[in-house]
């Protein structure tokens, strides 16, 4: 299966869109790698990055695993001096199949900063029934 990778540097309190949709929805994707990194070691950082299946209008640092539109979440903390806390990350992602665009949000806590991200998606052909299920889930998530 082909692997598609995406990377970027996001400013705090912004939303990025990764365009994946096709006319027929027959291409499926699954996250296989999600990594984040500070742009440099000289910043205090408390940030949360999340990946969603539906468009987002706000950014925040709340993580709710009950939200069925949330595909992945990452928290990064870093102290410029290492006295408060050393650099630390927690990253969790779901192996769910999707066939539409995904949306990345970045929000800061007490210390917000720009954050780099790197995402690898496994790309594969969806059977007609898989395509229908993925599309109906997306429609339900947008309208629900």
User: Tens place of pLDDT for every residue, the chain, 144 residues?
Assistant: 799 999 999 999 999 999 998 888 789 999 999 999 999 888 888 999 999 999 999 999 999 999 999 999 999 988 887 666 677 888 999 889 898 999 999 998 878 889 999 999 999 998 877 766 666 665 566 555
Predicted local confidence at residue 6, as pLDDT: 97
Predicted local confidence at residue 35, as pLDDT: 95
Residues 6+ apart with CB under 8 A from 84: 44
What is the CB-side half-sphere exposure of residue 7 using CA atoms within 13 A? 8
Residue (of 96, 142, 85) closest to 121 by Cα position: 96
> Is the four-CA dihedral 11, 48, 140, 99 of positive or negative sign?
positive
């Amino acid at each position: 299966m082909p692997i598609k990778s995406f990377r970027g540097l996001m400013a705090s309190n912004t939303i990025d869109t990764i365009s994946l949709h096709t006319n027929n929805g027959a291409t499926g994707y699954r996250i296989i790698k999600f990594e984040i990194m500070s742009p440099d070691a000289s910043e205090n950082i408390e940030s949360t990055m999340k990946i969603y299946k539906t468009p987002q209008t706000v950014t925040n640092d709340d993580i709710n695993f009950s939200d069925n539109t949330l595909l992945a979440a990452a928290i990064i903390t870093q102290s410029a001096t290492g006295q408060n806390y050393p650099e630390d990350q927690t990253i969790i992602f779901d192996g769910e199949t999707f066939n539409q665009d995904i949306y990345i949000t970045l929000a800061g806590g007490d210390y917000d900063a720009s954050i780099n991200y790197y995402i690898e998606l496994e790309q594969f052909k969806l059977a007609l029934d898989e395509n229908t299920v993925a599309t109906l889930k997306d429609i339900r998530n947008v309208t629900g």
